[in-house]
Structure 1
Amino acid sequence: MMGNDASILWLFFGFKGRISRMAFLLGGLAMVVVTMFVLYRVNIAEQLARGLDFWTTILAVVVFVSLWCQAALAAKRLHDMDQPGLWAVSMFVPILNFFAFLALCFLKGTPGANRFGPAPNLPG
């Protein structure tokens, strides 16, 4: 991560710096958990026939925020591999996104500092 500047807000919303494979996976997992919880609530609201509008609105917000977060995570992971963050767009192209995700999960980052900052302080 970025030393003392690392925070949850930076992890999910910032586009500068580098993150490890582990941080990328854990960040993605956190987004999946939040999205699944909201989907669960939408399903319950639909069955109970109350609160559906509220939870559907929350779902729309969560999906929009998740797209931003995924782009931020991918950009920082790409930075760890000494690649421009603009390649994060590949995460939104069907079929290509699967291969991009695998690459971000399994390819090692640049050892030591690179043009995007110091090495992440987490293993992976």
Structure 2
Amino acid sequence: MDWYLKVLKNYVGFEGRARRKEYWMYSLINLLVYIALAIVEAMTGMVGDSGMGMLTLLYSLAVLIPGLAVSFRRLHDIDKSAWWLLIALVPLIGVIVLLVFACLEGTRGDNRFGPDPKADEGGVPATA
């Protein structure tokens, strides 16, 4: 939960780097919240014609900017520009490419986007 809150607190932090653990823990908790909200909406009959209820819509809007920010920082960690997010517009292939990028280990040591986040958080030192 700390990783999720860390991303939400840094909701406009588009610069710097985010390690894999930060990205995936945020994604996992985000998914669990979506599922919980969908269950609540289904049980209370709040689902609209679009298949999405008001709770999930409001939550989606609330986490849109933090989700983009952590995605930018994740790409920065592998020394890729955030412009790579636009590849998601390519059907199927784009999402697969972004999934592979999200799974890659970050650049060891400093890169053009900032210092190694593992070294800052007591992880593997940049020289190891």
- TM-score higher than 0.5 here? yes
Give 5+ residue unaligned stretches, structure 1: 1-6, 47-51
1:33 aligns with 2:10: no
Structure with more relative contact order (C-alpha pairs < 8 Å, separation 6 or more): 1
Paired with 2:39 and 2:91, the residues of 1 have a C-alpha distance of: 25
- Report deviation, 1:67: 3.8
Aligned to 2:77: 80
Q: Percent of counterpart pairs with the same letter?
A: 25
- Report deviation, 1:21: 1.1
Aligned to 1:49: none
Name the one with the larger helix percent. Answer: 1
Q: Deviations over 1:36-74 (max 9, x none)?
A: 11111111111xxxxx27x92221122233443332222
Paired with 1:111 and 1:18, the residues of 2 have a C-alpha distance of: 11
Paired with 1:22 and 1:91, the residues of 2 have a C-alpha distance of: 22
Distance change >3 Å, CA 66–CA 89, structure 1 → 2: farther
Paired residues in the alignment total: 111
1:64 aligns with 2:61: yes
Distance change >3 Å, CA 83–CA 29, structure 1 → 2: same
Whether contact under 8 Å (1:78, 1:84) holds in the other structure is: yes
Whether contact under 8 Å (1:24, 1:73) holds in the other structure is: yes
The one-letter code matched in structure 1 to 2:99 is: F
Distance change >3 Å, CA 70–CA 16, structure 1 → 2: same
The one-letter code matched in structure 2 to 1:79 is: H
Aligned to 2:111: 114
Whether contact under 8 Å (1:18, 1:120) holds in the other structure is: yes
Aligned to 1:17: 16
Paired with 2:114 and 2:23, the residues of 1 have a C-alpha distance of: 17
